[in-house]
C-alpha cells in the first residue's frame, strides 16, 4: 500500500500495527495501567463539539500561527518522543525535515535516537530540546549546556515523570532502553521482516544523546528529586525560552508563571504516566483562566485530527503538538506517509474552519467550541 492509503490518523495506526513488531507497536501505542487514562483523553475530546456557522465568506483561510514571535505555518508541531527511530530508520530526521518545511517546532527528546546537534541542523533551527531531570541532576545540567552550545533557543522541561509510569504492554514484551535482544524479541522481529531488515542494515536504535563520554542515562532512574528549587536553578542557567510540560493543575500553572517560565504545556504525557490523571482538555480552560489571556499556553495528549487541534485552541491553547500518530505514519509508509498524514491533519483543520465560518485561528480562539 502507498501513502495514499492514509486518510486519517487511524489509518496510519492500523497500517503501523501490521508492519511493526508487537513490542515496538505496544511501546509507541501503550499507556499507563489498564489504559483508562488514554480512553478518558479520547472520550473527553470526542464529547466536545464545534459550532457550525453559515453564510460567511470563508474562501480564504489561514492556518498560520506564531510562537515566541516567530512565524509558524501551522498551529501544531511535533511533541518530543523518545526513540523515534524504532518506528523506522531515520524517523527523527524525517520529523526534523517536516518541521523545517512548515516552520514548526520539533520536540527533541532527551532520549531521542538521533543526537540533538544533528536534529537542530536538519530542522533548520526549528527544534526545541526536551529535558528530563534525572538522578542528582548533574547529567541534566550538562545536557542544558550542550543544548545551548548546539544553538537551541527553547528548552522544554518535562515535569510529569517523577517515576516512569508502569505500562503493562511494555513490561509483557520485556521492552528496555537501551535496546536489548532476547529470544522473545528475535522471534517477534523475525515475524515482521519489513521492519526488521531495514533496522538490521542501519543498526539498532540507541539513545544518541548519551553515546558521548560523560552523558550516562538510565531510563528507570528516579526523577523524583526535582523541586521548585531545581526549576529556579534552571531558570537562572537558561536565558532562552523555558517551557514547562506536563501541567494539569491551575495552582501549579499560576506558580510556574510567577517563577518566570515563558510558557506552559498542558499535558498528561499521552496518558503514559498516571492512569487516573484528568483528561487534559477538561482542565485546559481552568488553566487558561489561571494564567490569564496573554500567557503562552500549549497543549498535547490524545490529539488525532485537525478538528482536535481546533478544540484545543477553542478551549484556551495557543498551540498544539501531535505525538505518536506521526510515528505511526512513518512506520506505515516512511517519509511519504508522514507527509501524507501531515497534509490530512492540515486539510481536516482547514475544512473544519470553513464549517465553523472562521478564516483565522484568532476567530477559533474567541468562541468556536461548546460542550
Contact 163, 134 (CB under 8 A): no
Q: Which residue numbers are catalytic?
A: 269
Question: Can you say how many angstroms the Cα of residue 259 is from the centroid of all Cα atoms in its chain?
Answer: 24
Contact 96, 122 (CB under 8 A): yes
Three-state secondary-structure class, residue 178: coil
Longest dimension (CA), the chain: 63
* Residues 187-212: b if buried by 16+ CB within 10 A, e if exposed: ebbeebeebbeebeeeeebbbbbbee
Radius of gyration of the chain (CA): 20
Contact 63, 75 (CB under 8 A): yes
Angle (nearest 5°) at CA 251 between 246 and 255: 80
CA pair distance 335, 346, nearest whole angstrom: 17
Contact 245, 168 (CB under 8 A): no
* Grid coordinates of 40: 478518558
CA pair distance 64, 24, nearest whole angstrom: 34
Is residue 70 packed enough to be buried (19+ CB in 10 Å), middle (13-18) or exposed (0-12)? Answer: middle
Amino acid at each position: 500500500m502507498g501513502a495514499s492509503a492514509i486518510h486519517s490518523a487511524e489509518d496510519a495506526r492500523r497500517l503501523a500495527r501490521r508492519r511493526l513488531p508487537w513490542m515496538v507497536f505496544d511501546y509507541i501505542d501503550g499507556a499507563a495501567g489498564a489504559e483508562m487514562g488514554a480512553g478518558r483523553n479520547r472520550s473527553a475530546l470526542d464529547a466536545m463539539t464545534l459550532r457550525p456557522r453559515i453564510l460567511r465568506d470563508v474562501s480564504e483561510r489561514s492556518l498560520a500561527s506564531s510562537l515566541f514571535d516567530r512565524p509558524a505555518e501551522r498551529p501544531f508541531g511535533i511533541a518530543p518522543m523518545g526513540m523515534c527511530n524504532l518506528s523506522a530508520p531515520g524517523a527523527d530526521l524525517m520529523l526534523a525535515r517536516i518541521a523545517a518545511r512548515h516552520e514548526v517546532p520539533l520536540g527533541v527528546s532527551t532520549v531521542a535516537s538521533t543526537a540533538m546537534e544533528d536534529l537542530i541542523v536538519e530542522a533548520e533551527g526549528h527544534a526545541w530540546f526536551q529535558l528530563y531531570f534525572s538522578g542528582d541532576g548533574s547529567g541534566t545540567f550538562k545536557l542544558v549546556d550542550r543544548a545551548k552550545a548546539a544553538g537551541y533557543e527553547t528548552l522544554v522541561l518535562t515535569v510529569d515523570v517523577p517515576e516512569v509510569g508502569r505500562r503493562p504492554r511494555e513490561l509483557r514484551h520485556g521492552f528496555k532502553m537501551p535496546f536489548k535482544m532476547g529470544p522473545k524479541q528475535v522471534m517477534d522481529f523475525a515475524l515482521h521482516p519489513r521492519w526488521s531488515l531495514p533496522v538490521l542494515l542501519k543498526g539498532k536504535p540507541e539513545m544518541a544523546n548519551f553515546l558521548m563520554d560523560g552523558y550516562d542515562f538510565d531510563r528507570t532512574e528516579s526523577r523524583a528529586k526535582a523541586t521548585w528549587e531545581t526549576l529556579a536553578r534552571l531558570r537562572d542557567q537558561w536565558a532562552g525560552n523555558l517551557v514547562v510540560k506536563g501541567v494539569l493543575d491551575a495552582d501549579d500553572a499560576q506558580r510556574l508563571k510567577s517563577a518566570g517560565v515563558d510558557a506552559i504545556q498542558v499535558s498528561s504525557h499521552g496518558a503514559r504516566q498516571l492512569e487516573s490523571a484528568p483528561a487534559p482538555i477538561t482542565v485546559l480552560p481552568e488553566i487558561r483562566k489561571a494564567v490569564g489571556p496573554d500567557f503562552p499556553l500549549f497543549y498535547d495528549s490524545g490529539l488525532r485530527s485537525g478538528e482536535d487541534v481546533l478544540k484545543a485552541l477553542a478551549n484556551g491553547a495557543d498551540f498544539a503538538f501531535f505525538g505518536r500518530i506521526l510515528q505511526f505514519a512513518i512506520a506505515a509508509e516512511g517519509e511519504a506517509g508522514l507527509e501524507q498524514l501531515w497534509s490530512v491533519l492540515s486539510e481536516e483543520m482547514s475544512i473544519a474552519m470553513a464549517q465553523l465560518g472562521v478564516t483565522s485561528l484568532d476567530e477559533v480562539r474567541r468562541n468556536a467550541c461548546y460542550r
